[in-house]
Structure 1
């Protein structure tokens, strides 16, 4: 199971005991927020995007739970339109199924990981740990370090920017 792989990954840092497992699903931002007991914005969602002309590569971006992808910012940053991967392709490339996708213990060197600036508003956030009923509490700096992110980027829009 992917959560076991993530637990093993975090054990090298002595953090495996910080992984939270729930008796309920945490597969969506709303469900994760309920399971953890925090506002949805503090859930770190990891979205998977295609890389044009590279079928075996993808971009993982970690966002705050209330952030949406700004197509304009994405295209300015990556030079192509944002296109999400299918659930099957996400599992194939990352080893994590949708609902538990995270940037931890991803062994595929063609997967590039980034953190979105929307996460920096919080002292801690809660990304999944490879299953649809898990999370770990990390500071944005810890998230960046342990996900081996390539950089902080701004490719999101928050609800107040969307008129939501």
Structure 2
């Protein structure tokens, strides 16, 4: 269901032909990188947070981790991940396929600066056997991002 929702949304944005459906799992960064033949950092990992009664998605480089201090400085609230068993309710996609395409109404989407080192990135497309190949300008436009934030630490940091 989530894959179909994401594909319908991507079709409305003229990007359905960017969807990739490998036969092997893409539910984790390592699996997705192996399935797509790219470095792990190019996987645009979608992290889900609760800010009060609002769900927020932040797409980050596959190798990045959230820096709690940066997050709080940016959003003026503590970083609180959505509990695993509640992600689908809040976002519209289950863990392993969370993406910014075909999401529930009112969910905000942000892009982290950690993605800027890549020309092309691969977010999921609604399930654990999918991805979407997008340039950064395409990603910005297609996911209706609120903007760019700097809330992560990367392995180099």
What TM-score does the superposition give when structure 2 sets the normalisation length? 0.97
Residue in 1 aligned with 2:20?
Answer: 20
Equivalent pair of 2:3/2:125 in contact (CA under 8 Å): yes
Whole-Å Cα distance in 2 between the matches of residues 59 and 150 of structure 1? Answer: 10
Equivalent pair of 2:18/2:134 in contact (CA under 8 Å): no
Whole-Å Cα distance in 2 between the matches of residues 148 and 89 of structure 1? Answer: 23
Whole-Å Cα distance in 1 between the matches of residues 147 and 51 of structure 2? Answer: 17
Whole-Å Cα distance in 1 between the matches of residues 7 and 131 of structure 2? Answer: 11
Runs of 4+ in 1 over 3 A off after TM superposition: none
Matches within 5 A, 1:93-132: 93-109=90-106, 111-132=107-128
Whole-Å Cα distance in 2 between the matches of residues 13 and 112 of structure 1? Answer: 18
Mapped pair 1:5 → 2:5 = yes
Q: CA deviation at 1:13?
A: 2.5
Matches within 5 A, 1:64-143: 64-109=61-106, 111-143=107-139
Residue in 2 aligned with 1:47?
Answer: 47
User: How many residues in Structure 1 have an aligned counterpart in Structure 2?
Assistant: 157
Alignment gaps of 5+ in structure 2:
none
Report the RMSD for the aligned CA atoms in angstroms. Answer: 0.9
Whole-Å Cα distance in 2 between the matches of residues 12 and 80 of structure 1? Answer: 34
Q: CA deviation at 1:127?
A: 0.2
Whole-Å Cα distance in 2 between the matches of residues 3 and 87 of structure 1? Answer: 18
What TM-score does the superposition give when structure 1 sets the normalisation length? 0.93
Alignment gaps of 5+ in structure 1:
none
